[in-house]
Structure 1
Amino acid sequence: MRTYLTILLAAIPGALLAQTVYSGESTIDKTKAQGLFLTVPGDGRQIEKDWENQLKTYGRLSASRGTYRVTNADISGVSSEPINLMSTVKTSRNQATIFVAYDLGGGNFVTTGTPGYSAAETMLKSFASQSQFNQEVRTAEGGLNDAQQSHQKLVRTGERLQRDIEQNAKEKERLLKRLDENAKQLEQLSKDIETNKTEQATALTEVDNRRKNVEAVKAKKP
């Protein structure tokens, strides 16, 4: 079964494929140098960070405005002696172009056909593949993180909805109780009004009796 990462890698053009390395010349701090060029597709800034970390494995690295130097770099595959490595990186949103010069001393640089060129080319291609692989992993992990956050958000929403349901049930219980109390109150009011009618009738009868009594008393006037 194909994993998510495998599918993701297959969907991105050039993923983990060997990149083209070619010789050329570039000016570093107003000095012309012979070296190798490599363009790596992807997040240019992240590729530059990856390249910087790679250079640190060769020795003490100094960096200034996209220019990197490793004096007395230890790269045995390129040269059995320490060399001065110089590199520049030009980045964009979609790629990074790396230039690296291997100064063997005496104005001699590693170029096509010279000893160490094959190792230098292999090193750059290996870096490109590893950098792209790292990008795919970060992309996959980012997708996983997004999915996890989305799931957690839905879980929180579900928990809130459950609380709302429980609150609704309690409110329903209170309302039903209130309705029951209201019904009992209405029943009592109905009884009270009937009692009141009876009492009114009794009181009216009493009024009539008292009126008749008054009239009877007045009738005895001498």
Structure 2
Amino acid sequence: MKSFIFAFVFTISLAPVFGQVFTGMDEIEKAKKEGFYTYINSDEKYVVESWKNYLKKFGKAEAGRGGTINVYQAKISDISNGTLTLLSKISEEKNKTKLFVSIATGPDTYIQNGHENYRDASDWLEQFVKIINLEENVRTEEKALNELISAKTKNQKAAERLVRELDSNKRQTELLVKKLEEAKIEKEQILANQEQNKLDQKANEEAIIQQAQKFEEAKKKVN
């Protein structure tokens, strides 16, 4: 019976209570801490940077062991009028970034499911999630803008390359036309030379015949 009750309570403690915030335990500074956590659809490096900036509003954020970020004298009026000890850890889990937060209102007294300040603490964490989501949206839109600008640059370069290729083609065409005209003139000259050669051959043949006759006549006179 006790095992059943424990299992039931444990199951309830892992269920989401407000929005996307869950209760549970995690290891911080080599010790198990009670608290709550959420998953964020942003790269870990962005969450770390944004979380540090968020915590600066409530006290001095210090880097702890194992990648923890802590505020030992946190003043978060949205949660409590007293001083709080805030321990947190950001890690990658299931292709998402997990942010675990453990807030103590006193020695060994942690805000968790059922604590009078849990709703306020949960709302406070969800405020950060809204901020990081807005920042992620900015990054997404910036990335989309940069991709469009990059595509525009590529298209402009392609257009410039096509203009150069067209200009080169034009010069080659003009050169070919010029060579074709020169070849046409050369052909006409060759044909003219060919006709002249035929006339020269005919004249030469006639001259040979005449000269042969003169040669024979000259021989007859000698005999």
Higher helix share: 2
CA distance in 1, matches of 2:168, 2:94: 51
**Change in 2 beyond 3 A, CA 1:93/1:142:** farther
1:218 pairs with 2:223? no
Q: Structure 2 unaligned runs (5+)? A: 1-17
> 2:73·2:84 contact (CA, 8 Å) conserved in 1?
yes
CA–CA separation in structure 1 for the residues paired with 2:32 and 2:193:
111
TM-score by length of 2: 0.78
Contact 2:26 2:34 in 1 (8 A): yes
Moved over 6 A (4+): none
Q: Percent identity?
A: 27
Residue 51 (1) aligns with residue 55 (2): no
- Counterpart contact for 1:73–1:83, Cα < 8 Å: yes
1:182-221 equivalences in 2 (<5 Å)? 182-221=183-222
Q: Give deviations 1:116-162, integer Å, cap 9, x for gaps.
A: 44432222011111112222221222122212212221221121112
State TM-score, norm by structure 1.
0.79
Two-structure CA RMSD over aligned residues (Å): 2.5
In structure 1, list runs of 5 or more residues that go unmatched: 1-17
Contact kept in structure 1, 2:35 and 2:102, CA below 8 Å = yes
SS in 2 for 1:220: helix
The residue correspondences of 1:1-222 to structure 2 (distance < 5 A) are: 19-58=19-58, 59-92=60-93, 94-112=95-113, 114=115, 116-222=117-223
Say if 1:95 and 1:44 are closer, same or farther in 2 by CA, change over 3 A.
Answer: farther
**Contact 2:29/2:65 (<8 A) preserved:** no
User: In 1, Cα distance between the equivalents of 2:87 and 2:133?
Assistant: 23
Contact 1:61/1:70, CA 8 A, preserved across alignment: yes
